[in-house]
Amino acid sequence: MSCILFSRPDHDSTLAYLYYYSKGLVDYSKNKKHKTLNREKEHANRKEIINLIKKQNPNFIMFNGHGDPDIIAGHKNEIIISKANSEILSNALIYSLTCSSGQKLGKLIVTKGAICFIGYNKDFNLGKDPNSEASPRRDKIAKLFLEPSNILVKSLIDGCSVKVAIERAKEKMRENIWYLSTTKDFLEAPFYAPFLFGNYISLISYGDVKASI
Amino acid sequence: MSKEKQNEIKEIKREIVIERLRQAPPSVKISFGMSEGKFMDRDELIENVEKNTDIGNRIVNLQLEYLKAFKTGFLTNK
pLDDT in tens, A38-47: 999 999 999 9
State the smallest CA–CA distance between residue A33 and chain B in angstroms: 33
Does pLDDT of B47 surpass 90? yes
The pLDDT value recorded for residue B2 is 86
- pLDDT band, residue A130 (cuts 50/70/90): confident
What is the number of other CB atoms lying within 10 angstroms of the CB of residue A34?
18
| pLDDT tens figures, A10-51 | 999 999 999 999 999 999 999 999 999 999 999 999 999 999
- Which range (A75-89, A181-195, B26-40) has the least confidence? B26-40
* % of chain A at pLDDT higher than 90: 93
| pLDDT tens figures, B15-35 | 999 999 999 999 999 999 876
Interior angle at CA A122, CA B17 and CA A64, nearest 5: 120
DSSP code of B23?
A: T
The pLDDT value recorded for residue A134 is 63
The pLDDT value recorded for residue A136 is 83
- A-B Cβ pairs (cutoff 8 Å, strict): 96
The CA distance from B29 to B31, in Å, is 7
- Which range (A87-96, A136-145, A174-183, B32-41) has the least confidence? B32-41
Complex ipTM value? 0.93
Domains and CATH numbers, chain A: 3-207 (3.40.50)
Q: Say whether B62 and A194 touch across the interface (CB within 8 A).
A: yes
Does pLDDT of A118 surpass 90? yes
The pLDDT value recorded for residue B71 is 86
Element containing residue A62 per DSSP (H, E): strand A60-64
CB-CB contact of A174 with B10 (8 Å): no
Does pLDDT of A174 surpass 80? yes
The CA distance from A54 to A194, in Å, is 40
Query: Hey, which residues 2-61 in chain B have their CB within 8 Å of chain A?
Result: 21, 23-25, 27-39, 41-42, 58
In the sheet that holds B40-41, the strands lie side by side as A126-128, B29-31, B40-41
- pLDDT band, residue B74 (cuts 50/70/90): confident
Strands (E), A125-195: 126-128
Strand duo A93-97 + A60-64: pairing = parallel
* % of chain B at pLDDT higher than 70: 96
Establish if A128 touches chain B: CB-CB under 8 angstroms: yes
The CA distance from B30 to A129, in Å, is 9
DSSP code of A187?
A: T
Q: Please provide the DSSP assignment of A132-147 as one string.
A: GTT-GGG-HHHHHHHH
Q: Is B3 exposed, middle or buried (0-12, 13-18, 19+ CB in 10 A)?
A: exposed
- pLDDT band, residue A154 (cuts 50/70/90): very high
The CA distance from B45 to B35, in Å, is 11
The predicted model gives A107-128 an average pLDDT of 97
CB-CB contact of A88 with A70 (8 Å): no
The pLDDT value recorded for residue B78 is 55
Strands (E), B1-78: 29-31, 40-41
Domain ranges of chain B: 3-71
